[in-house]
């Protein structure tokens, strides 16, 4: 059975989208100058496709479904969007993720957690207990679950993978969700410097559109299945 990996995510408005593409190109260039390269640059066309590009976004929930179940996810997200207001964006800090990908993390808020919770409540049952094959870093999720069970390390992460199939959620037992934009992904884990980027605190705006994207490797969103205005 072939599964499709989807991301319920917030789409960036034009000004923030353009800024994210500019930052991504800068960081990808820095990787090349350092003898590395990025697996993607935001805004670029996906090689071998006619109309897919690496779209800037803020992920809320990822899941795997069959092709026939995609429309059910789209309709669930549409309903959530109609019942929830727009979300404010305030940049907090740039930092690398564990594999060296540069990210901009936003100031967390109750509004962020509430929106994610409603998306999860609506969409999570549609994964029918299935795990995605791999996470954005390429880690095989079933192997990760098995390792966490065996070692007893990070019980909160294990609990979220078992409950939701996704381990970046704010719930009653853990606050693993940190809304962020990922700008690039080094092929070799090289961490480029983050100096000289626009101040994180200058990244402000309002996100008004909730979308469903089909995902490719490294957490990239490339194919849009539906986008709906919040509120």
Q: Are 54 and 181 in contact (CB under 8 A)?
A: no
E strand map for 85-162: 87-96, 102-106
What is the enclosing helix (H) or strand (E) of 120? helix 110-123
* Per-residue pLDDT, 200: 96
Mean of the per-residue pLDDT values of the chain:
96
Domain that holds residue 195: 3-229
Q: What pLDDT is recorded for position 172? A: 73
Specify the pTM.
0.95
Q: Are 61 and 126 in contact (CB under 8 A)?
A: no
pLDDT attached to residue 31 = 98
Low-confidence spans in the chain with pLDDT less than 70:
none
Residue 171: per-residue pLDDT: 83
Q: Which two tokens stand for residue 150?
A: 């065996």
Residues 156 and 166 sit within 8 Å (Cβ to Cβ): no
Strands 180-182 and 102-106: antiparallel
The 10 Å Cβ neighbour count of residue 130 is 15
Structural domain count, the chain? 1
What CATH number is associated with residue 166?
3.90.1140.10
State the CB neighbour count (10 A cutoff) for residue 215.
Answer: 22
Residue 22 vs residues 5, 166, 184: alpha-carbon distances, Å = 27, 29, 11
Helix axes 141-151, 155-164, angle to 10 degrees: 140
Helices and strands: H and E segment counts in the chain: 5, 8
């Amino acid at each position: 059975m072939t599964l499709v990996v989807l991301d319920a995510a917030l789409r960036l408005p034009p000004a923030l989208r353009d800024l994210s593409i500019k930052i991504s190109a800068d960081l990808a260039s820095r990787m090349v100058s350092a003898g590395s390269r990025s697996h993607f640059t935001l805004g670029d066309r996906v090689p071998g496709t006619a109309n897919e590009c690496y779209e800037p976004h803020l992920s809320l929930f990822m899941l795997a479904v069959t092709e026939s179940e995609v429309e059910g996810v789209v309709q669930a997200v549409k309903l959530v969007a109609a019942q929830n207001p727009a979300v404010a964006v305030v940049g907090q800090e740039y930092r690398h993720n564990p594999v060296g990908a540069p990210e901009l993390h936003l100031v967390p808020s109750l509004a962020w957690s509430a929106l994610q919770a409603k998306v999860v409540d609506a969409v999570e049952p549609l994964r029918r207990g299935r795990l995605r094959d791999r996470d954005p870093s390429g880690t095989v999720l079933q192997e990760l679950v098995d390792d966490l069970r065996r070692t007893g390390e990070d019980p909160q992460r294990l609990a979220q993978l078992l409950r939701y199939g996704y381990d970046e959620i704010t719930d009653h037992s853990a606050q693993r969700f940190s809304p962020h934009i990922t700008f690039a992904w080094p092929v070799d884990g090289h961490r480029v410097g983050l100096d000289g980027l626009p101040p994180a605190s200058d990244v402000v705006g309002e996100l008004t559109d909730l979308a469903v994207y089909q995902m490719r490797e490294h957490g990239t969103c490339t194919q849009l299945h539906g986008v709906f205005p919040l509120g």
